[in-house]
Structure 1
Amino acid sequence: MSHAVTITRTTTTTTSTSAIVINSGYLKTIPGLLKLAELIIGSICTFLVAYNFWSYSRYSGGTELFFLCIAVACVVGTFCLLLSCLLSLSTGGIISKTIYEFIYHTTAFILYIVASILLIVKNNNYQTSHPFMIAGILGIINSALYLVSAFYAHRSYRGI
């Protein structure tokens, strides 16, 4: 009886003075690049809405606050996932084979797309400010990245 064997090569970076091992090879994979892009775009969305929330406080309300809460929650969750995959040699390969990544990315996609659409619709109707509109458009781009990440996570999970 024959069976298939998969060999995975992991690239790490270490220094002699530090005991921290960084799995730099994870950032060369598609899921790693997607998480990095989600983190960067999510941080920009968070900054845009948080900075302009007080400036336009007369117009700001529940929609902007909802978007800000979703953006912060997704940035923190994605940062924790990315950091754990970078600092552990085995986490990048193991966590993608669990259902957690699929559920996280699907939930982030749904919440981000709803918050972004609400933000764009509200600011288009009231024509309040451009930073909120830019944040909404970046939120839709980020939700698309979360959808692609959910697809990769589902494909990896089904491969068990």
Structure 2
Amino acid sequence: MSHSVTITRTTTSTTNTSYIVLNTGYIKTFPGILKLFQLLIGIAVVTLMAIRFHDSPYYRGEQDLFHFLMATTFMIGTFCLFLACLTSLSTGGLIAKTIYELIYHSVAAILLLASSVCLLIKLRDGRNDSYMAAPILGLVNTVLYFISAFLAHRSYRGI
């Protein structure tokens, strides 16, 4: 009986120091760039929310807290995922073939969408022009997470 075999080669470039191996080639891939932008936008949202929480001594409301928690949660999760892909030669290509990325990015997109919309609805009546950047950046990050979920769905290999 004959069968066909597909061999896939992945080329990675590394910066080798004495203890840490960096997969610098991952940053040049589209998923790597997406994760980097998700991380940077997440840092910006968390910073804006933290400044708002620091400046205002009264109760902020459920929408503020929900958005702050979602932005912080997925910023930390994306950092861990990005760091794992950056410090391992095989993780970047291997984790994309699992269901983890699809679930993670889908949940992140849905919850960030919900928190951003809730905060935008709360802020539409007030004079919070500078504070509107946090939910708007949350919506931008939502789009990036939806794109990552779509790419993860395409590359997922159910075993």
Q: TM-score, normalised by structure 2?
A: 0.92
1:48 and 2:66 matched:
no
Identity of aligned residues (%): 50
Which residue in the other structure is 2:132 paired with?
A: 133
Q: How does 1:82-121 map to 2 (within 5 A)?
A: 82-121=82-121
For the Cα contact (< 8 Å) 1:48–1:131, is it kept in 2? no
The CA distance in 2 between the partners of 1:40 and 1:134, in whole Å, is: 14
The CA distance in 2 between the partners of 1:57 and 1:115, in whole Å, is: 22
Corresponding residue to 1:8 among 7, 10, 15: 10
**Matched AA of 1:91:** T
For the Cα contact (< 8 Å) 1:52–1:131, is it kept in 2? no
Shift of 1:93: 1.1
RMSD: 1.6
Unaligned 5+ residue runs, structure 2? none
Shift of 1:37: 0.2
1:67 and 2:55 matched:
no
Which residue in the other structure is 2:148 paired with?
A: 149
**Matched AA of 2:35:** K
Which residue in the other structure is 1:28 paired with?
A: 28
Q: TM-score, normalised by structure 1?
A: 0.92
**Matched AA of 2:12:** T
